[in-house]
Structure 1
Amino acid sequence: MSRCTPPWGVAAVVVALACGPQQGHTTAPSGAASPASTLPPSRHDTGALLEGNVPLAQGGVLPLVELRGKLVVVEVVDAAHRDDAVESDYAALQRELGERLVVVLVSLDHDGWQDQSPPFVLGWDPQGAFAARLQAASLPTVLLLDPQGRIVQQYAGARTPGHRELVAAVHAHAAG
């Protein structure tokens, strides 16, 4: 005696296979940001005038307006995100451009400046007020200001193509 599968049983298996979960497909909740979207480096658009005061490591403040007439690199960082290669590039740019370039490193923790000396301006932002005013997306957040104080380049995050682009922008603005 042979055993036959009822036709509705075959149909149920076909429907189950056809309607099962599909691999590699996810749907974001309504209104959620796409995983590929990233935050801007700061709340300021490129071309915006950056004003404010940088709290200094040795005390006092540096009004950014005092740096007008020079190219200015502002990097908001902490000791864990400092990058010797990036700082070496900044030092090379300063040797090349002299007084036409100022590099301002603003740390969220004081420990990072134990080994540092000029040529950099050392900022200290222990409560994160300067970083909050920028709405820095991540550490480091780096901005290049032109001689009028406008943001001409910015990026956030360590070891990104943004650093190479920033170095190229410094050279382009120094030449032009």
Structure 2
Amino acid sequence: MPVIPGVTACLRCIYPEQPAGVQPTCETGGVLNVIVSTVASLQVADALKILSGHGDLVRPRITTVDVWDGGIRQIASPPRDPDCPTCGRREFSYLERTAVAPVSLCGRNAVQIRDRERPIDLLELEARLRPLGEVRANVYALRFFIPPYELTVFPDGRAIVKGTSDLGVARSLYTRYVG
């Protein structure tokens, strides 16, 4: 579904709240890997239309692709909701961290955590963690290995905890080692 700011509906216009449990996740339903490149190709084609000055050729539609049976179905996107919190009122709660909870990353045995309001000094964190285990760091990220886990911490406070999909375990490791 192409989202053209100020013109078409965004995903939050269609799903004001995430429909928990209604759709299968890639954890429960699986993802046939060729669908990723198929959808990316459709998105790139729409982007090229816009970039080449032919944005009028982009159709506001929701496309469902079933690569297993070769079916492609399209329905018209609903109209943009002028009172939508995201595209109507310009409130970006997911980007501003006000609505971001730890998330188990699909099929990766990892959890992403974003709950710090202040940046992290990666050099200071590296010095603190070095006596506790293997640490690799640069200006972009710090990786800390404590088998069977691996924490990747970013300067904005985000972290990816690999080796678990349990949100509680990931939060505990983050609190213990990052603070």
Pairwise TM-score range, normalised by the shorter structure: under 0.3
Which TM-score applies when normalising by structure 1? 0.24
Structure with a larger share of its residues in helix: 1
- Could you say which structure has the larger radius of gyration? 1
